[in-house]
Structure 1
Amino acid sequence: MLLQTVTPITVLGTTVALALFLSLTAHLAARNVLGDVDPRRALYIGPLPAVTAIVGVTYALPEAVVVLVALVLDGAMFAWSYDQPRRLVVGMTVIHAVVTTLLGLVLFSASLLLATMPG
């Protein structure tokens, strides 16, 4: 078994990759609710929930607390970035959570299948 050490570069890389993934799914959620939107606005949404997840894992915080804080920050960033009424912000946040979960599961399952491929 190969053990890997955690370095600041690996933490930074993981955080940036998660922030970009969350920004992509935030853009998909915003497009679903608002129609044609500027994709650069979604770049503001991903970093805070990503940092929340990394801090939660680092300090072994309860998952329910981390998810709740990430969802609140996600909604706050949607409200700030897109300047929409509360009902639309809640809709975008819920859709963002669903799209992120589904796309994450698909990507994880595909990587697991590829990792167990014979040959």
Structure 2
Amino acid sequence: GSKPFPRYGYKPSPPNGCGSPLFGVQLNVGIPSLTKCCNQHDRCYETCGQSKNDCDEEFHYCLSKICRDVQKTLGLAQNVQACQSVVELLFDSVIHLGCKPYLDSQRAACRCRHEEKTDL
């Protein structure tokens, strides 16, 4: 089949941090950079043609960097461990539960070459 292309006039919904329906709970744990990673991940999913795997890898890298920064700033082993636990929880959630949100976002952001003007 032909590749999908961006839907004309599509406006992504505003990112909602780590409180997406994906997690079922609000996971904003008071770390602004964590929210930033989640927002970037939301935007990536809503970019027509982006692969889920690339979005998830970018998300994992973003999250891991936060923990490295925590280590540099605070240097407390338990803080770093807590950070890594949150990162793994978030990343596992995305890997296991992210398929539907990814597909829904792609469906909203893209259209197929021969798609009718009516909604599916």
TM-score by length of 2: 0.46
Instruction: Kindly indicate whether structure 1 or structure 2 has the higher relative contact order, using CA contacts under 8 Å at least 6 residues apart.
Output: 2
Between structures 1 and 2, the one with greater helix share: 1
